[in-house]
Structure 1
Amino acid sequence: MRPAFVLAIAVLLFSSFLGAQSGEIRGTVTDSEGKASAFVNIQLSETQQGVSSDVNGSFVFTEIKAGTYTLIASYIGYKTLTQKVEVEADKVLNLSLELFENAETLKEIVIKGYVTQNERIASIGKMAARQMDLPMSFQTLDRQTLESQQALTMQDVLMNTNGVYVMGATGGYQEEIAGRGFPFSSSNTFKNGTRFVNSMLPELSSLERVEILKGGAALLFGNVAPGGVLNLVTKKPKFGFGGEVGLRVGSFGLLKPSFDVYRGIGKGEKVAFRLNGTYQTANSFRQYVNSERVYINPSLLFKLSKKTELLLEGDYLDDRRTPDFGAGIINYEVIPDYPRDRFLGVKWGYVDSKQSAAAATLSHRFNDKWKLNLSSSYRDTEQEVFGTTRPNQGTLIKADGLWTRNIQRNASTDNYFIVQGDINGSFNTGQISHQLLLGFDTDHFVQQTQQYAQLNGYDTVNIFENLPSDSRNDIPTLKKGNFSDNPTSRYGVFIQDLITLSTKFKVLAGIRYSSQKLESNVTTAEGQVTTTPSPREGAFSPRLGIVFQPNSNQSAFVSYSNSFSFNTGVDIEGKALPPSIIDQYEVGIKNELFKGRASANITLYQIYNDKLAQNSLVNGNTYTYIKELAGAVRSQGVEVDFSARVTSNLIIIAGYSFNETKYVKSNTYVEGSLLRYNPNHTANASIQYEVSEGTLKGLNLGFVSAYIGTRFAGRSTRVQVANDAYRITEISDYFQFDATAGYNFSKFALRAKLANLFNVLSYNVHDDNSVNPIAPRNFSASLTWKF
């Protein structure tokens, strides 16, 4: 991205911020005990502007024209406070608001009003700061959106995002997510702020919201890819009594009953619980493919004192399904044209996945300005895959469609334990205010993998024909091969300060130090053990951002951050490779439009890794573990996000992203070639409308669309291989449209969804060139009873 272009855009955007001087409203919100109340929704009814109080209960409205306004403060479980305020030109009105508990609303809570994306506070940011005040890009999808769109998979959720997308679907049992040109590994996916293994499909029925932080997040989380992080936030316990039961059915034999119940325990509202879960069974549009899963999510909340809470959470998912690796791209050139429902694996194949987790979070508020969070989590994941190998893994598919199937089997476990904590606090130095975040984390995980000897030449099939009735269907016995045991220990400490220099300027500055130690222990089938320790490696991750807010409705920012990637292998002298440092630059604006009814944001970014590890070619080296930090990858892009509640009944979410991620320096691949699986263009648009009056009251209609641009599969061409057979293969772009409808009556909700409305055909690609078609047009319906 040319600097002159970025500067021109920045000048154009900043020039739109000039406005008239007005008055200002500042205040704090406390409860009846004098404790600061965070996340309180505060609105000026005449202008429809809204803000949320921060962790200290503070809030501010700037650039308010002189006059009389109605200020409304509301929060779940408290009586709504309404009062008239008088704003004078060039003066600051200071308020102290006190909220009182409302016992009736604790029993049945109905949330009204609308908080825009820029006014929301994302827990993934680890501090109670509005997105408007931060030099980074967030997106939050709440429970209302997930329910109205009837999201079943992350593919459904990400139809509401741009720049973050599903890049592959390994074997049909995983949704590989990427952002800004970089894959989200298990290091980039979180549930309630703790990493989860994303090699299995997550369950969405338990979610309260989905949070996405685009761009660098290494300061907060350490070793994460630079494209961003994803956080799934589950439902929490509530006092009072309530819940729901539901049943969803749909095409391809989908059957999914679910339940959710919460209640306070005993008197005095000191303990509350929540329990939700689901069972799901389904076939597929693919022949012989089926799945079954069980999920349960219990939680307990203890109010240990007026200032201290303890939250205990459990999470268990058992998922078993038929692995389906699709077909390969013939000669890395042609996607074979065969029926969408054709299955080419073995009928007896399976992938069996289990993931269980337990977490404890202790929150303590020292006073109105300082708060401590401590959490500990343990996660255990087991997965076994037994079936055919990926197409073109070892045996290429011939032009006439003949494919010799090989059989693979492997079993893996991932045991993970983390302790993390942070302190949020605020203080002033003169006229300058600080919102400080101090934190640490230390984790240890052990990955163990049992390999089995691959069976080559199990049989031969033709991908252009259905599996013959006499095709081989016996389950072979495979001998155990190498067993690998890979323990990893990490720790990190960080500090971050959001500094308010004035009503118009804020600075976010921070730094993190991370340390990691890896070890590899390989035991052969004959019992020989090879241990390969690596030295402890460390890396610093700074962040610096400047925010300019000329008024309460506009914000502009520039920022720098970096992330890091630990490398395996050694250099030509046998020394361990240092981490690769990845630099990221962003510039953007955030706007509140139409009196707080809409948010419109634009972000430009560049991510650059000029120390990319690649195979060393020095002295004719042919060993892949001897490497050098001599390659470079660059990602550039722009993102536009828009969300609005046009009326009280109509919600719109839309966006567009352009990204180009390519090799700019390499001794292995052609310089200028694009990295695989990443679409240059993504876009999204959704509309949800609910009838609130008349005979059709309770009817809601929706439309969701997403565009995925041209991507590339195959393998990048190698410069050092003469007449290289590898090449990247173009996958055409496509639009997908979904339609939803629902009707709420009494305590019941009836919903229906028609996905892939126009039955478009496209593909998810994974593992070089294994190709799976996306699902054809399909239908689902659900009935829910709330109590």
Structure 2
Amino acid sequence: MSNKIRLIALFILTSTSIIAQNARLAGSVLDARRKPVTGVNVRLLELKKGKLSDEAGQFSIPSLPSGTYTLQASYVGYKTLQQSVTLEEGKTLNLALELLETATDLKEIVVMGHVSQNEKPVSIGKLPIRPMDLPQSVMTLDRTLLETQQVRSMSDVLMNTNGVYIMGTTGGYQEEISARGFSMGSSNTFKNGMRYANGMMSELSGIEKVEILKGSAAILYGNVAAGGVLNLVTKKPKFNFGGEISLRSGSWGLIKPSIDLYGGLSSKVAVRLNATHEQANSFREGVRSERFYVNPSLLFKLSDKTELVVEGDYLEDKRTPDFGAGIINYKIVDVPRERFLGVAWSYMNQNQSSITTSLTHRLTDQWTIKLMAGIRNNGFDLFSNARPNAGSFVSEDGRWIRNLQKANARENYGIAQVDLAGTLHTGVIKHQLLVGADSDYFNTVTQAFNQFVRYDTINILGPNPVAKRVDQPAMTPFTTTTAPINRAGIYVQDLVHVSEKMKLLVGLRYSYQQTTSELYTYSTSKTTVSTNFDGAFSPRFGLVFQPTKSHAIFASYANSFALNSGVDINNNALPPSLIDQYELGIKNELFKGMLSANVTAYRILNNNLAQNSLINATTYSYVKELVGAVQSEGLEIDLSTKPVAGISFTGGYSYNETKYVKSNTYIEGSLLRYNPNHTANIGISFRHNGWQAGLTSVYIGERFAGRSTRVAVANDAYRLIELPAYTQVDFSLSYRIKHFIVRSKVANLGDVLSYNVHDDNSVNPITPRNYSLSLTFAF
């Protein structure tokens, strides 16, 4: 691999050595459906130089002197844009100009990265609807922000959001995301619109932007949790040649070379390749990680109206599982932050590969059809000590009998989806219509092993807690579970422009799912098979009132469903739980669009939560009844500005309370675990003459882990663990001179200590203060 990287670097250095040192302006003009716009006049007013965008929407103005100029983009029937741009000697400034639909049906050209939050349509929404017209909270974290912050993990990304946060990092090999009090599993996380398995650490080097659609998305994607959905959008091929090569190093031996290459193979075919290899130790002694990622993609312009994107994605991750120190008497154990208490030879190996194709065809100027299909294969292989307090509690004097655990799983996933979107008029009323259907399948095979009991004994409080035993014993298989899931859905959604000031969003989805479980037990050589069939309707209603073009008030209702495992007392499969979601908010574009200020209030209510059945005093965990209720209520405030004198600001605050309002098992009114009542974030970035700096801060309020107290169990020993609030601050700085960029970052500037806790058996301290430095050659 290293020889290939050296050859690529030599080729690039040779090719770029002949580039003139004059500046160059290039880019593309696309409409809201990501289609090229021809004939847009792109000019630099002070230099009186310009070019028209070609049939591919591309433009290029070479041989320009460095300096700051006024960019003007104009075309008959569209609002003229004027935007300040800075050109540097020997550098090509690439711009992506997007054509957005306004409330008055005119078109507006804006520079991506300088568009307010209320004007960035999200592809995860499937319709090019401005967030200002959408009765729902939307957030887009674009490439500029991700580069300024120098993100490396999903934890870094979510420092820029409120109401969406990391709820746990079980074993240190995953980042569990939660939104509005509900866990966002793999059904709620997407990459380019296709679900990806989020049980492993995400790789962000190939990501162009991150989209978050808070609240209900069941009408678009079926069986998703109530809190929202998250979509990673990868970097796409470009017809102009360019890219960058970088090397990042940092604390605890971090080494991460990366490449990003793109260009046109012909006038109809473009290609892009992102790849990286990362290896590092950890602030936890004996913990290591290594990963490899590659993301090739091809863009085919089959005709003026048809475009095909084919993309591969492969991630391999190997690391030492680390379940922390555990809990003694439901209190965090005071041990050195760097102390690792796992077995030295333990491992967690994960991989995920996928291929997606997306075909977009413009039927007319108003109608577009999009077909997406993809397959994914992912799996893990875990062999380590069992988690503290999982089968063997840590005693008060610190003694812990370590057991061993082993498991592996493989999942195959596939999806086919078709969406027809466009506009039509019934009299004077305009409709933005979406009609679609999807079908996907999962087939998961999980192998569990008999637990290896009493591997050894250590004292977690002692000066040298790790025992001498280092052998890796054999473990025998216990069960193999095969769980194929097939589901399909059809949906229709219509944004009705009742008037210039009033919009109505209505929609309905029907989902059908077949779930089968085949459990093979090795000790008895028997297979148990069960099959469930579930179907549910998911309606959606929303009303938007816009007294002016800069203000919008909205209210919405949506219904989603959650599938339930287990059976009732008559051994029948449980029906799905139906969840009602209400949202009310206001969106504002203040000071001529320089400041976006949004406020959202919501209530999410599951009135038929599945809980263990108490009829006839049964204690079997798989016998359940729909007798519980959970309520999530909250308020969110989001602020963001466009750049002013090179300075940008983002900030937000969220209050959330997720609690049991009815339960036969837990205390009514008690809070659900892992969810902070308060979260807040502030981000400030600065750009000027090649310099770029960013300060990002996140506040995570008090939250609970441990075990919720059970009212149905006499003298219940379960207790909650209160985790204190903390504030983390990161600082980044970079400087660009010609083709070279030097980036540096200090994370957790205040070296604060806090924990991510799963139940009472995986306690992972957050990373202490750490540093990174990278050098990039861009061309």
Using the size of structure 1 for normalisation, the TM-score is 0.87
CA contact (8 A) 2:73 2:80 kept: no
Instruction: Tell me the equivalent position of 1:391.
Output: 388
| Offset of residue 648 of structure 1 | 4.1
User: Match for residue 217 of structure 2?
Assistant: 217
With 646-655 and 728-737 compared, the bigger mean Cα shift is at 646-655
1:90 corresponds to? none
Which of 274, 277, 280 is the equivalent residue of 2:278? Answer: 280
The counterpart of 2:667, out of the listed 663, 667, 670, is 670
- Say which of 753, 765, 771 aligns to 2:745: 753
Task: Measure, in 2, the Cα distance between the counterparts of 1:417 and 1:135.
Answer: 31
Matches within 5 A, 1:166-565: 166-266=166-266, 269-332=267-330, 334-468=331-465, 470-526=467-523, 528-565=525-562
Q: Secondary structure at the match of 1:109?
A: strand
| Number of the residue aligned with 1:579 | 576
Moved more, 521-530 or 293-302: 521-530
Deviates more, 1:519-528 or 1:428-437: 519-528
- Tell me if structure 1 keeps the 8 A contact 2:260–2:274: yes
Structure 2: how far apart are the matches of 1:73 and 1:678? Answer: 52
Match of 1:591 in 2: 588
Tell me, yes or no, if the aligned pair for 1:342 and 1:466 is still in contact at 8 Å.
no
Match of 1:110 in 2: 95
Do the aligned partners of 2:417 and 2:437 also contact (CA within 8 Å) in 1?
yes
1:756 corresponds to which letter in structure 2? N
Alignment-mate amino acid for residue 124 of structure 1: I
Give the Å deviation of 1:530: 2.5
**In the alignment, is the contact (CA less than 8 A) between 1:427 and 1:435 conserved in 2?**
yes
Matches of 1:648 and 1:264, distance apart in 2 = 35
1:77 aligns with 2:62: no
TM-superposition CA deviations, 1:257-291 (whole Å, max 9, x none)? 0001011113xx11111011100000000000000
Structure 2: how far apart are the matches of 1:81 and 1:755?
39
Q: Secondary structure at the match of 1:199?
A: coil
Structure 1 distance, partners of 2:691, 2:702, is 37
> In 1, Cα distance between the equivalents of 2:696 and 2:463?
34
**Residue in structure 1 matched with residue 164 of structure 2 by the alignment:** 164
The answer to whether the 8 A contact 1:713-1:769 is kept is: no
Cross-structure match for 2:754: 762
SS in 2 for 1:653: strand
Conserved? CA contact 2:36–2:57, under 8 Å: no
User: Residue 375 and residue 646 in structure 1: after superposition, are their counterparts in 2 closer, same or farther (change >3 A)?
Assistant: closer
* Cα distance in structure 2, aligned partners of 1:716 and 1:628: 19
In the alignment, the residues of structure 2 paired with residue 379 and residue 229 of structure 1 have an alpha-carbon distance, to the nearest angstrom, of 19
Q: Which amino acid aligns with 2:616?
A: N
Q: AA paired with 2:715?
A: N
Shift of 1:220: 0.5
Q: Which SS does the other structure have where 1:144 is aligned?
A: helix
CA contact (8 A) 1:107 1:240 kept: no
Encode CA deviations 1:159-207: one digit per residue, 9 max, x unaligned: 0000000000010100000000000011111000001111100100000
State the alpha-carbon separation in 1 of the partners of residues 194 and 75 from structure 2.
43
Partner of 1:698: 690
Q: What is the one-letter code of the residue matched to 2:633? A: Q
Deviation at residue 470 of structure 1 after TM alignment: 4.9
Q: Distance in 2 between matches of 1:502 and 1:449?
A: 54
Q: Identity of aligned pairs, percent?
A: 55
Distance in 2 between residues matched to 1:387 and 1:394, nearest whole Å: 14
Q: Say if 1:170 and 1:767, in contact at 8 Å, map to a contact too.
A: no
Q: Is 1:680–2:680 an aligned residue pair?
A: no
Indicate how the Cα distance of structure 1 residues 173 and 469 shifts in structure 2: closer, same or farther if over 3 A, else same.
closer
- Tell me which residue corresponds to 1:708: 700
| 1:38 correspondence with 2:19 | no
> Structure 1 residues 720-729 or 170-179, which shifts more?
720-729
Matched residue SS, 2:171: helix
Unaligned ranges ≥5, structure 2: 1-28, 38-50, 61-70, 82-90, 97-110
Whether 1:656 and 2:653 are equivalent positions in the alignment is yes
SS in 2 for 1:403: strand
Distance 1:237 1:618, change over 3 A: same
Q: Quote how far apart the aligned CAs of 1:382 are.
A: 1.4
Q: Distance in 2 between matches of 1:377 and 1:179?
A: 26
Residue equivalent to 1:609:
606
Q: Which amino acid aligns with 2:725?
A: D
Distance 1:362 1:83 in 2: 30
Q: What's the CA shift for 1:522? A: 1.1
Q: Which residue of 1 aligns with 2:712?
A: 720
C-alpha spacing 1:778/1:520, structure 2 compared with 1 (3 Å): same
Cα distance in structure 1, aligned partners of 2:94 and 2:336: 50
What's the offset of the Cα at 1:622?
A: 2.0
Partner Cα separation in structure 1 for residue 78 and residue 137 of structure 2: 31
Indicate the SS of the match to 2:773.
strand
One-letter amino acid of the counterpart of residue 127, structure 2: M
Give, in whole Å, the separation in 2 of the partners of 1:203 and 1:213: 21
Question: What is the alpha-carbon distance in structure 2 between the residues aligned to residue 535 and residue 763 of structure 1?
Answer: 39
CA distance in 2, matches of 1:257, 1:95: 43
Contact 1:716 1:728 in 2 (8 A): yes
Q: Secondary structure at the match of 2:144?
A: helix
> 1: CA distance between counterparts of 2:482 and 2:75?
66
Deviation at 1:524, TM superposition (A): 1.6
Aligned to 1:148, what secondary structure does the other structure show?
A: helix
5+ long unaligned stretches in structure 1: 1-35, 40-52, 58-71, 86-93, 99-105, 692-696
C-alpha separation between the residues in 2 aligned to 1:517 and 1:330? 43
- Give distance in 1, aligned partners of 2:168 and 2:753: 15
Counterpart code for 1:736:
Q
- Return the alpha-carbon distance in structure 1 between the equivalents of residues 75 and 343 of structure 2: 71
Deviation at 1:768, TM superposition (A): 4.0
Retained in 1: the 8 A contact 2:458–2:467?
Answer: no
Residue 633 (structure 1) aligned to one of 627, 630, 648: 630
SS in 1 for 2:31: coil
Between stretches 186-195 and 529-538, larger displacement belongs to 529-538
Maintained 8 Å contact 1:545/1:558: yes
Which secondary structure does the structure 1 equivalent of 2:713 belong to? coil
On the 8 A contact 1:55/1:127 being kept in 2, the answer is: no
How many angstroms does 1:536 deviate by? 1.5
Cα contact 2:341–2:466 (8 A) shared by 1: no
Deviations 1:732-779 (A, max 9, x none): 000001111111110111111111111110001114442111011100
Question: 1:593 corresponds to which letter in structure 2?
Answer: L
1:38 aligned partner, one-letter code? D
1:15-44 Cα deviation digits (max 9, x unpaired): xxxxxxxxxxxxxxxxxxxxx9623xxxxx
**Shift in Å, 1:76:** 6.5
Contact 1:598 1:646 in 2 (8 A): no
Aligned to 1:63: none
Q: How far does the alpha carbon of each residue in 1:566-587 deviate from its partner, in whole angstroms, 9 at most, with x for none?
A: 1111212222111100000000
Tell me the TM-score normalised to structure 2 length.
Answer: 0.88
Q: Secondary structure at the match of 1:338?
A: coil
Q: CA deviation at 1:56?
A: 12
Please tell me whether the aligned partners of residues 56 and 369 of structure 1 are also in contact (alpha carbons under 8 angstroms): no
- Single out whichever of 194-203 and 612-621 deviates more from structure 2: 612-621
The 1:535–1:777 alpha-carbon spacing in structure 2 relative to 1, beyond 3 Å, is: closer
Structure 2 distance, partners of 1:736, 1:96, is 42
1:532 Cα deviation after fit = 2.6
* Counterpart residue type for residue 263 of structure 1: G
Q: CA RMSD in A?
A: 2.2
1:151 corresponds in structure 2 to 151
Contact 2:684–2:696 (Cα < 8 Å) also in 1: yes
Residues 458 and 466 of structure 2 are in contact (CA less than 8 Å); yes or no, is this contact kept in structure 1? no
Distance in 2 separating the partners of 1:84 and 1:146: 32
